[in-house]
Structure 1
Amino acid sequence: MASPLRSLLNIIQKSVDEIEDVFEKHGSTFPSIDDTQHQDDAIRLDPSVQAAATLLTSAAYQLISNVQRPQSNIFNAVFQHYLPCAIRAAVETNVVEILREAGPKGMHVKKIAEQCGVNHIRLSSILCYLATHHIFREVEPDVYVNNALSIVWDTGKSLKEIKTRYACYPSHKYPSFSYGCGSSTDESYKAAGYIPEHLIDPATTFADAPESSPMMLAVGYRKAENSMWTWFEQPSNEMRLRRFGMAMNGVVNLEPPYDILTGFDWGILPKGSVIVDVGGGVGSYCIAIARAFAGLKFIVQDRPMTVKLGAEHCLKEFPDALNSGQIQYQEHDFFETQPQTSASVFLLKQIMHDWSDRYAACILRRLRDAAMPATILCLNEALNLHTCPAPLLPIPGAHIPSPPSPLLTNLGPAKARTNVMDLVMHAHVSGRERTLVEFVELLASTGWKVVQVYHGEYNSQIIAAPIQS
């Protein structure tokens, strides 16, 4: 029998062979991290490449955890918070754009700092730390160039244009993915620092209201009925609200473009069917579905300020759908009575994870009260998986095959996005990610029965039908 280390090595070797075989069939080679051009993700999104890459990543992380001295492992972990700080510093100082303009030979940190208007010694520490984590590449002492990781947040703008056109509107200078970098390394980072206090304090450890979240502790906004959403809507936070909204849109770009269109078959809905996107933000997912299914109609519901931003977004991305009325925006508080009583589908895209069970149950009951007998409830949520095997549920599509031993059942850091988001939801809004068992129980308590589960690369679709009395 192979040792655990040898078993992990075998998984890595087999995965590399499978990835390289796919690239070879396409007449290509796997791209280097040192490439400075934006890489074509078409081959990487091949399902077989995705599966092999996930196993490889899981095995590599587990191999490192096994062989690295425990003290070193924990040392790296407890100081990992400096990584988002360094990324935000690089984003805010436009290092990526400066290096793009500098060309393939790169630029010395003194010249970079001069263009940024910052201390070169401190910037040098930041860039060296990032290069140590393979973000940027140091080609000569103190000379840096971009690589495949750093260009992810490249605005594509010249430094001159950024400084003149975007100086007064810092949230507008970034592409969607950079909004996520900014939001995650700003308010989200500050909120995370209060998780231990929130857990230990008897006054907050059992609190499930949004105003009691670690983020509200961090920003000093703890008043009844307040939440992250009302905090974002304060006049002083307009930039943050816009950045957060576009960060959520950036999530769409992180997910495979087919993800929302796979699983539930939107094509089975009769022409003229109404999909109500409850808490739909700027309507990114409705826009994606509407492009593919012209005969369907959509109502995107959200808070007043978000609805306004959503209409602006739709006018830019899919004006025909907005002007024709195929996509409409409606102000609505999903804790109040649902005004749409003839919906074919209630779509909730990552809404449940924003709320503790008490609040999530209220939302679901409002929808059950407004549902017709044939109404479909579609929850798009990330499912938390245990690190060990769990009992199977008798629901079509619920089962997820276990990875090869000795990998963790949830594939560890290779699939840690859901675990990260579980903590993010806790920190921001006292929310949580849930297991499928927890969803089944929550839905049953509010008048819904899970009838099908579809697993996607990032999220799962939980399809439920009204329980008939």
Structure 2
Amino acid sequence: MAATLLTLADIISSGVRAIHNVYSGQGMEFPSLNEPYTLDSEALRNEDQVQDACVTIAAAAFQLIATIRQPQTSIFNATCAYYLSATLRVACETNVVEVLRDVGPSGMHVDQIGRKLNLNPLLLGRILRYLATHHIFQEVSPDVFANNRLSSVIDKGKSVDDLLTAPLTKFDMTNGIGALVGHWQDYKGAGFLLEHLTDPETGFSSEPSKTPMLRAFGASGTVWDWFESQGNEYRFKRFGVAMDGVNSMQPPDAILKGFDWKTLPEEGVIVDVGAGIGVSSVALAKALPAMKFVIQDRPKVLEQAVQFWDGKCPEAVQGKRVTFQPHDFFDPQPVKNPSAFILKQIVHDWADEYAERILRRLREAVDNGHQCMLVIIDSLVPYACRQGDSRTLIPGERPPSALQPLLPNYGPVDASPYFTDLSMWVHFNGQERTSGHMERLLEKSGWKLTRIYYGEMSSGHLVQFVATPL
């Protein structure tokens, strides 16, 4: 055990020295935890060499804490972790970050914050102190709080007066990060995972009408029905902005970094299934000037898509290279034998039973012998173990391989694919998938997974699963 502790400590110290050398070589300092977040201050930190070192340091630090801390303390901290989500939700929804932004590093006494926001200062102070203990906000003196690098990330960029006078639209025209935080933290359904799992009617069900979220709110139908019901206007609007926030974290041309789209027939047809407004296809249309595109979604969504393409890629609209086609992906696919189908963040909304139906509809539209590529863009859930020779890797697959004695997937440094997976369950009865799971699902649906392409760091855990007809 002593050797493991020393190894973890060495990983941390050598990584910190490497980062220090990079920054000192540039005449810069690593971003301070007590300074607000800015894109400029994070630029060097996000370069590959520094980012890789940061991930390894954090993985070793998490494992060192888990090793040396009393096990009971770790379990109780994990048990009560929901308070972190709950208190962060309060700070985001009540606009505390924006109030503190206006006063700068000196901070503001909780009594003044309470008067400004019409909140009980005693309760608010307890919330902010809990967050500051987790390095979100800082308590600069007793009962005086200020923003820091972490809390400033959820700044909506609007004046406090605007936020207070128009609460329903507080997230409009923002980067979507605050909306995403509010959306994630409103997952009261997470508190019903046990009840859902142990109830025979729901624990083995694939139905999108039987989810922990709907159980939590006593709602029927699907989550989409619930979102669109009376009284949920704020949640529904926030969800839309939150999804914009997810897209904003991905480079517009992310879809070009992976599968070589130029290997398709020059004047072929790409069908973007469940495309939304077709953001990814716009990037492809600009890169493939002779390719035709079919944007498929619900009629109301396509109304927005037409406007989006008119503004972002008018040459494709004027050249009649893009068609907007109302379509339910559970119905027979109307486009036969295209060059490629795209399914971006669609499959993860559905349990295997429903995902297989979607994929089979696409396979039915392709004649045997026709060369058609299926590109699924979703999160890849890494295994938490070292695979060894337990399975044959898919071409391009990069199994988790952090150096020993770290967890191969770097532990909780970035748990986003795992909590996204659980959130798909809570909301939709859907899921993110491991590479082995995706391979089996595609095979059952008439497709062969032929390659995996990993996105850039800025694309999060989204990968391209490329398949061909069996």
TM-score when normalising by structure 2: 0.90
Task: State the Cα distance separating 1:146 from its structure 2 match.
Answer: 1.3
Task: State the Cα distance separating 1:78 from its structure 2 match.
Answer: 0.8
Query: Could you give the per-residue CA deviations for residues 185-227 of structure 1, whole angstroms, max 9, x where no partner exists?
Result: 12xx2111111110111221111111111111112223xxx32
- Aligned pairs for 1:57-456 within 5 A: 57-164=58-165, 166-172=166-172, 174-186=174-186, 189-222=187-220, 226-255=221-250, 259-290=254-285, 292-311=287-306, 318=312, 320=314, 324=318, 329-371=324-366, 373-390=370-387, 391-400=390-399, 402-456=401-455
Gaps of 5+ in 2: none
Of residues 340-349 and 202-211 in structure 1, the stretch that sits farther from structure 2 once superposed is 340-349
Distance 1:304 1:238 in 2: 20
Of residues 340-349 and 142-151 in structure 1, the stretch that sits farther from structure 2 once superposed is 340-349
Secondary structure at 1:139's aligned position in 2? strand
Task: State the Cα distance separating 1:329 from its structure 2 match.
Answer: 4.1
Given that 1:245 and 1:281 are in contact with CA atoms closer than 8 Å, whether structure 2 keeps it comes out as no
Distance 2:309 2:217 in 1: 32
Distance 2:8 2:252 in 1: 31
Secondary structure at 2:129's aligned position in 1? helix
Task: State the Cα distance separating 1:128 from its structure 2 match.
Answer: 1.0
Residue number in structure 1 paired with 2:21: 21
Query: Could you give the per-residue CA deviations for residues 94-118 of structure 1, whole angstroms, max 9, x where no partner exists?
Result: 1111111122322111111111111
Query: Could you give the per-residue CA deviations for residues 51-109 of structure 1, whole angstroms, max 9, x where no partner exists?
Result: 22221221111111111101110111111111111111111211111111122322111
Secondary structure at 1:347's aligned position in 2? strand
Task: State the Cα distance separating 1:367 from its structure 2 match.
Answer: 0.7
Given that 1:171 and 1:240 are in contact with CA atoms closer than 8 Å, whether structure 2 keeps it comes out as no
Secondary structure at 1:172's aligned position in 2? coil
Residue number in structure 2 paired with 1:463: 466
Task: State the Cα distance separating 1:342 from its structure 2 match.
Answer: 4.5
Task: State the Cα distance separating 1:319 from its structure 2 match.
Answer: 6.0
Percent of aligned pairs sharing the same letter: 42
Of residues 44-53 and 425-434 in structure 1, the stretch that sits farther from structure 2 once superposed is 44-53
Secondary structure at 2:465's aligned position in 1? strand
User: CA, structure 1 residues 252+265, in 2 after alignment: closer, same or farther (shift >3 Å)?
Assistant: same
Instruction: State how many pairs are aligned.
Output: 460
Residue identity in the other structure for 2:208: P
Residue identity in the other structure for 2:10: N
TM-score when normalising by structure 1: 0.90
Distance 1:426 1:326 in 2: 37
Given that 2:37 and 2:153 are in contact with CA atoms closer than 8 Å, whether structure 1 keeps it comes out as no
Distance 2:4 2:52 in 1: 21
Tell me how large the CA RMSD over aligned residues is. 2.4
